[in-house]
Protein backbone atom coordinates (compact mmCIF):
# COMPACT_ATOMS: atom_id res chain seq x y z
CA UNK A 1 0.00 0.00 0.00
CA UNK A 2 2.97 2.33 0.42
CA UNK A 3 3.82 2.50 -3.28
CA UNK A 4 4.07 5.62 -5.38
CA UNK A 5 1.06 7.93 -5.08
CA UNK A 6 -0.92 8.63 -8.21
CA UNK A 7 -0.26 11.91 -9.95
CA UNK A 8 -1.81 15.26 -9.02
CA UNK A 9 -1.48 18.88 -10.01
CA UNK A 10 0.25 20.33 -6.96
CA UNK A 11 3.85 20.71 -5.88
CA UNK A 12 4.74 24.36 -5.31
CA UNK A 13 4.86 27.80 -6.85
CA UNK A 14 7.08 26.78 -9.82
CA UNK A 15 4.25 24.55 -11.05
CA UNK A 16 1.63 27.30 -11.04
CA UNK A 17 -0.89 28.97 -8.78
CA UNK A 18 -3.59 26.32 -9.11
CA UNK A 19 -1.19 23.58 -8.07
CA UNK A 20 0.04 25.69 -5.17
CA UNK A 21 -3.56 26.33 -4.14
CA UNK A 22 -4.27 22.61 -4.05
CA UNK A 23 -1.10 21.89 -2.07
CA UNK A 24 -2.09 24.55 0.40
CA UNK A 25 -5.58 23.02 0.46
CA UNK A 26 -4.28 19.83 2.04
CA UNK A 27 -1.36 21.29 3.95
CA UNK A 28 -3.34 24.09 5.57
CA UNK A 29 -6.21 21.88 6.65
CA UNK A 30 -4.36 21.38 9.91
CA UNK A 31 -3.03 17.87 10.36
CA UNK A 32 -1.84 16.83 13.82
CA UNK A 33 0.30 19.49 15.43
CA UNK A 34 1.61 21.03 18.62
CA UNK A 35 2.48 24.61 19.50
CA UNK A 36 5.95 25.94 20.23
CA UNK A 37 6.11 29.60 21.21
CA UNK A 38 9.37 31.53 20.90
CA UNK A 39 9.76 35.11 22.08
CA UNK A 40 12.32 37.24 20.24
CA UNK A 41 12.52 40.35 22.42
CA UNK A 42 10.06 42.32 20.27
CA UNK A 43 11.91 41.75 16.98
CA UNK A 44 10.36 40.43 13.79
CA UNK A 45 11.81 37.06 12.90
CA UNK A 46 13.10 36.67 9.30
CA UNK A 47 11.20 34.33 7.00
CA UNK A 48 13.99 31.78 6.93
CA UNK A 49 14.62 31.88 10.66
CA UNK A 50 14.36 28.53 12.44
CA UNK A 51 12.37 28.61 15.69
CA UNK A 52 14.95 26.54 17.55
CA UNK A 53 17.42 29.41 17.06
CA UNK A 54 15.47 31.57 19.50
CA UNK A 55 14.68 31.37 23.18
CA UNK A 56 11.73 29.12 23.92
CA UNK A 57 9.47 30.57 26.58
CA UNK A 58 6.68 27.99 26.39
CA UNK A 59 6.37 24.58 24.79
CA UNK A 60 3.39 22.24 24.32
CA UNK A 61 5.14 19.23 22.90
CA UNK A 62 2.75 16.37 22.29
CA UNK A 63 4.07 14.10 19.56
CA UNK A 64 2.52 14.93 16.16
CA UNK A 65 1.26 11.34 15.87
CA UNK A 66 -0.88 11.80 19.00
CA UNK A 67 -4.37 12.14 17.47
CA UNK A 68 -5.45 14.64 20.14
CA UNK A 69 -2.60 17.08 19.53
CA UNK A 70 -4.00 18.75 16.43
CA UNK A 71 -7.06 20.19 18.08
CA UNK A 72 -5.14 21.34 21.11
CA UNK A 73 -3.01 23.68 19.03
CA UNK A 74 -5.23 24.59 16.05
CA UNK A 75 -8.56 25.11 17.79
CA UNK A 76 -7.80 28.80 18.35
CA UNK A 77 -7.25 29.54 14.65
CA UNK A 78 -9.01 26.81 12.69
CA UNK A 79 -12.33 28.50 11.94
CA UNK A 80 -10.73 31.86 11.15
CA UNK A 81 -7.94 30.47 8.98
CA UNK A 82 -10.01 28.12 6.85
CA UNK A 83 -13.39 29.81 6.61
CA UNK A 84 -13.05 30.30 2.84
CA UNK A 85 -11.43 26.93 2.06
CA UNK A 86 -14.49 24.73 1.91
CA UNK A 87 -17.35 23.69 -0.39
CA UNK A 88 -19.65 23.46 2.62
CA UNK A 89 -23.09 23.92 1.04
CA UNK A 90 -22.40 21.47 -1.77
CA UNK A 91 -20.90 18.97 0.67
CA UNK A 92 -23.91 19.13 2.98
CA UNK A 93 -26.32 18.67 0.07
CA UNK A 94 -24.44 15.61 -1.19
CA UNK A 95 -24.02 14.05 2.25
CA UNK A 96 -27.68 14.61 3.15
CA UNK A 97 -28.77 12.92 -0.08
CA UNK A 98 -26.53 9.92 0.59
CA UNK A 99 -27.58 9.64 4.24
CA UNK A 100 -31.33 9.59 3.69
CA UNK A 101 -32.98 9.08 7.08
CA UNK A 102 -29.62 8.52 8.80
CA UNK A 103 -28.11 8.31 11.32
CA UNK A 104 -24.80 9.90 10.25
CA UNK A 105 -21.32 9.56 11.76
CA UNK A 106 -18.66 12.16 10.94
CA UNK A 107 -15.04 11.21 11.59
CA UNK A 108 -13.09 14.30 12.62
CA UNK A 109 -16.09 16.50 13.39
CA UNK A 110 -13.97 19.44 14.56
CA UNK A 111 -16.14 22.46 15.31
CA UNK A 112 -19.11 21.12 13.35
CA UNK A 113 -18.75 22.80 9.95
CA UNK A 114 -20.58 19.92 8.23
CA UNK A 115 -22.22 18.12 11.15
CA UNK A 116 -24.26 21.09 12.35
CA UNK A 117 -26.03 21.86 9.05
CA UNK A 118 -26.62 18.13 8.57
CA UNK A 119 -28.24 17.96 12.00
CA UNK A 120 -30.48 20.87 11.07
CA UNK A 121 -32.02 18.68 8.36
CA UNK A 122 -33.51 16.56 11.16
CA UNK A 123 -31.14 13.60 10.87
CA UNK A 124 -29.38 12.20 13.95
CA UNK A 125 -25.67 13.09 13.67
CA UNK A 126 -22.76 11.84 15.76
CA UNK A 127 -19.42 13.59 15.55
CA UNK A 128 -16.24 11.77 16.55
CA UNK A 129 -13.03 13.66 17.24
CA UNK A 130 -9.78 12.83 19.02
CA UNK A 131 -9.47 16.38 20.34
CA UNK A 132 -11.30 17.37 23.50
CA UNK A 133 -10.47 20.98 22.65
CA UNK A 134 -12.31 20.73 19.33
CA UNK A 135 -15.30 19.11 21.02
CA UNK A 136 -15.30 21.85 23.66
CA UNK A 137 -15.44 24.44 20.87
CA UNK A 138 -18.27 22.48 19.23
CA UNK A 139 -20.14 22.50 22.56
CA UNK A 140 -19.87 26.29 22.71
CA UNK A 141 -21.37 26.56 19.22
CA UNK A 142 -23.92 23.78 19.80
CA UNK A 143 -24.93 23.87 23.50
CA UNK A 144 -28.04 21.74 22.93
CA UNK A 145 -25.93 18.95 21.39
CA UNK A 146 -27.84 18.71 18.15
CA UNK A 147 -24.66 16.88 17.13
CA UNK A 148 -23.79 14.09 19.58
CA UNK A 149 -20.09 14.57 20.47
CA UNK A 150 -17.87 11.50 20.75
CA UNK A 151 -14.29 11.69 22.01
CA UNK A 152 -12.23 8.96 20.36
CA UNK A 153 -9.84 7.70 17.73
CA UNK A 154 -11.21 7.12 14.23
CA UNK A 155 -8.79 4.22 13.84
CA UNK A 156 -10.83 2.47 16.57
CA UNK A 157 -14.42 3.52 15.94
CA UNK A 158 -16.18 0.66 17.73
CA UNK A 159 -14.21 1.22 20.94
CA UNK A 160 -14.86 4.97 20.80
CA UNK A 161 -18.62 4.51 20.42
CA UNK A 162 -18.78 1.84 23.09
CA UNK A 163 -16.84 4.05 25.53
CA UNK A 164 -19.50 6.73 24.97
CA UNK A 165 -22.27 4.15 25.58
CA UNK A 166 -23.53 4.50 22.00
CA UNK A 167 -24.73 1.61 19.85
CA UNK A 168 -25.90 3.39 16.68
CA UNK A 169 -25.51 1.97 13.21
CA UNK A 170 -25.27 4.47 10.37
CA UNK A 171 -26.56 5.03 6.87
CA UNK A 172 -23.49 7.22 6.28
CA UNK A 173 -19.99 7.43 7.72
CA UNK A 174 -17.89 10.22 6.25
CA UNK A 175 -14.48 11.80 6.65
CA UNK A 176 -13.98 15.16 4.91
CA UNK A 177 -11.17 17.48 3.79
CA UNK A 178 -8.12 15.20 4.05
CA UNK A 179 -8.79 14.21 7.67
CA UNK A 180 -8.40 10.52 6.82
CA UNK A 181 -4.78 11.14 5.83
CA UNK A 182 -3.96 12.57 9.25
CA UNK A 183 -3.90 8.98 10.48
CA UNK A 184 -0.52 7.73 11.59
CA UNK A 185 -0.04 4.92 9.07
CA UNK A 186 -1.54 2.95 6.21
CA UNK A 187 -2.46 0.28 8.76
CA UNK A 188 -4.46 2.84 10.75
CA UNK A 189 -6.17 3.95 7.55
CA UNK A 190 -7.25 0.36 6.87
CA UNK A 191 -8.48 0.03 10.47
CA UNK A 192 -10.56 3.17 10.02
CA UNK A 193 -12.23 1.70 6.94
CA UNK A 194 -12.82 -1.58 8.77
CA UNK A 195 -14.45 0.20 11.68
CA UNK A 196 -16.55 2.34 9.34
CA UNK A 197 -17.88 -0.69 7.47
CA UNK A 198 -18.75 -2.48 10.71
CA UNK A 199 -20.92 0.46 11.80
CA UNK A 200 -22.97 0.67 8.60
CA UNK A 201 -26.64 -0.15 8.26
CA UNK A 202 -27.70 -2.24 5.28
CA UNK A 203 -27.28 -0.08 2.19
CA UNK A 204 -24.99 2.34 4.03
CA UNK A 205 -22.11 4.25 2.48
CA UNK A 206 -18.66 5.49 3.49
CA UNK A 207 -17.50 8.79 1.97
CA UNK A 208 -13.96 10.20 1.92
CA UNK A 209 -12.75 13.58 0.67
CA UNK A 210 -8.98 13.88 0.11
CA UNK A 211 -6.32 15.50 -2.04
CA UNK A 212 -4.71 13.69 -4.96
CA UNK A 213 -0.92 13.76 -4.43
CA UNK A 214 1.54 14.47 -7.17
CA UNK A 215 3.99 11.83 -8.31
CA UNK A 216 6.30 11.02 -5.42
CA UNK A 217 9.39 11.81 -7.48
CA UNK A 218 8.22 15.42 -7.76
CA UNK A 219 7.71 15.99 -4.05
CA UNK A 220 10.62 18.11 -2.75
CA UNK A 221 12.63 16.78 0.17
CA UNK A 222 12.13 20.16 1.84
CA UNK A 223 10.10 23.27 1.07
CA UNK A 224 9.11 26.64 2.49
CA UNK A 225 6.18 28.64 1.13
CA UNK A 226 3.55 31.17 2.25
CA UNK A 227 0.35 29.77 3.74
CA UNK A 228 -2.85 31.10 2.20
CA UNK A 229 -4.85 31.47 5.39
CA UNK A 230 -6.90 34.35 6.79
CA UNK A 231 -4.60 35.76 9.47
CA UNK A 232 -3.15 39.10 10.53
CA UNK A 233 0.15 37.28 11.14
CA UNK A 234 2.59 36.18 8.47
CA UNK A 235 2.17 32.41 8.15
CA UNK A 236 4.55 30.08 6.32
CA UNK A 237 4.55 26.34 5.70
CA UNK A 238 7.75 24.36 6.10
CA UNK A 239 7.74 20.72 4.96
CA UNK A 240 10.03 17.70 4.95
CA UNK A 241 9.16 14.55 3.01
CA UNK A 242 9.84 11.13 4.54
CA UNK A 243 10.05 8.97 1.42
CA UNK A 244 10.52 5.69 3.26
CA UNK A 245 7.13 6.08 4.95
CA UNK A 246 5.31 8.17 2.29
CA UNK A 247 4.71 10.85 4.89
CA UNK A 248 4.94 14.62 4.66
CA UNK A 249 5.94 16.32 7.89
CA UNK A 250 5.40 20.04 8.16
CA UNK A 251 4.67 22.96 10.36
CA UNK A 252 2.83 26.22 10.06
CA UNK A 253 5.13 29.00 11.24
CA UNK A 254 3.11 31.97 12.46
CA UNK A 255 5.20 35.15 12.76
CA UNK A 256 4.08 38.17 14.79
CA UNK A 257 6.14 40.94 16.43
CA UNK A 258 8.15 39.29 19.18
CA UNK A 259 6.54 35.87 18.86
CA UNK A 260 6.84 32.88 16.54
CA UNK A 261 4.46 29.95 16.85
CA UNK A 262 5.27 26.70 15.07
CA UNK A 263 2.42 24.22 14.60
CA UNK A 264 3.88 20.86 13.44
CA UNK A 265 1.75 18.35 11.53
CA UNK A 266 2.10 15.18 9.50
CA UNK A 267 0.06 13.72 6.64
CA UNK A 268 0.15 10.50 4.62
CA UNK A 269 0.88 10.91 0.91
CA UNK A 270 -1.72 8.46 -0.29
CA UNK A 271 -3.46 8.48 -3.66
CA UNK A 272 -6.94 7.27 -4.58
CA UNK A 273 -5.68 3.85 -5.66
CA UNK A 274 -4.09 3.27 -2.26
CA UNK A 275 -7.19 4.48 -0.45
CA UNK A 276 -9.28 2.13 -2.61
CA UNK A 277 -6.96 -0.75 -1.66
CA UNK A 278 -7.39 -0.01 2.05
CA UNK A 279 -11.16 0.15 1.60
CA UNK A 280 -11.20 -3.10 -0.35
CA UNK A 281 -9.21 -4.84 2.38
CA UNK A 282 -11.94 -3.76 4.80
CA UNK A 283 -14.73 -5.16 2.62
CA UNK A 284 -15.67 -1.93 0.84
CA UNK A 285 -15.80 -1.24 -2.89
CA UNK A 286 -15.68 2.09 -4.72
CA UNK A 287 -19.05 2.90 -6.27
CA UNK A 288 -18.54 6.54 -7.29
CA UNK A 289 -15.74 9.10 -7.47
CA UNK A 290 -15.92 12.81 -8.28
CA UNK A 291 -13.44 15.68 -8.19
CA UNK A 292 -15.40 17.77 -5.69
CA UNK A 293 -18.68 18.11 -3.85
CA UNK A 294 -20.26 19.79 -6.89
CA UNK A 295 -20.14 16.53 -8.83
CA UNK A 296 -17.34 17.46 -11.26
CA UNK A 297 -16.24 14.24 -13.01
CA UNK A 298 -12.97 12.79 -11.74
CA UNK A 299 -10.12 12.76 -14.26
CA UNK A 300 -6.34 12.46 -14.54
CA UNK A 301 -6.18 16.22 -13.96
CA UNK A 302 -8.17 16.15 -10.71
CA UNK A 303 -6.39 17.50 -7.65
CA UNK A 304 -8.91 16.16 -5.12
CA UNK A 305 -11.49 13.40 -4.91
CA UNK A 306 -14.77 12.67 -3.19
CA UNK A 307 -15.04 8.88 -3.09
CA UNK A 308 -18.09 6.83 -2.13
CA UNK A 309 -17.74 3.22 -0.93
CA UNK A 310 -20.26 0.47 -0.26
CA UNK A 311 -19.89 -2.91 1.47
CA UNK A 312 -18.98 -5.74 -0.88
CA UNK A 313 -21.48 -8.07 0.76
Reply yes or no on whether the pLDDT at 11 is more than 70. no
Cβ neighbours of residue 293 closer than 8 Å, sequence gap 6 or more: 87, 90, 91, 93, 94, 209, 306
Per-residue pLDDT tens over the stretch 212-228: 998 888 888 898 888 77
What pTM, to 2 d.p., does this model score? 0.78
Residue-level pLDDT at 27? 45
Residue-level pLDDT at 223? 87
Mean of per-residue pLDDT scores for the chain: 79
Per-residue pLDDT tens over the stretch 102-153: 999 999 999 999 999 999 999 999 999 998 989 999 999 999 999 999 999 9
Mean pLDDT of 164-187: 94
Reply yes or no on whether the pLDDT at 2 is more than 80. no
* Band (77; pLDDT cuts 50, 70, 90): low
- Residues of 272-302 as b/e, b for ≥16 C-beta within 10 angstroms? bebbbbbbeebbbebeebbbbbeeeebeeeb
Q: Which position has the higher pLDDT, 47 or 180? A: 180
Cβ neighbours of residue 106 closer than 8 Å, sequence gap 6 or more: 114, 115, 118, 125, 126, 127, 128, 173, 174, 175, 176
Percent of the chain scored above 90 by pLDDT? Answer: 52
Distances (CA, A) of 271 to 63, 79, 213, 221, 302: 25, 27, 6, 19, 11
* Band (191; pLDDT cuts 50, 70, 90): very high
- CATH no., domain 1-313: 3.40.50.150
Amino acid sequence: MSGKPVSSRWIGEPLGKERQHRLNRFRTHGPCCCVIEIRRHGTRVPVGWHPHHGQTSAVTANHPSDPSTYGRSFVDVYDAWYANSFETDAAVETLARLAGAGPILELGVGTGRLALPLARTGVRVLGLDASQEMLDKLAMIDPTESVVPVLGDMANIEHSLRAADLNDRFSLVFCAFNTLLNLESFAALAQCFQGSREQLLSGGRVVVEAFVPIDESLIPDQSLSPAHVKSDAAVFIETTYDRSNSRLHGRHIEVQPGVVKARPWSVLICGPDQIDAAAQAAGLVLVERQSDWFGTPFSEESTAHVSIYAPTE
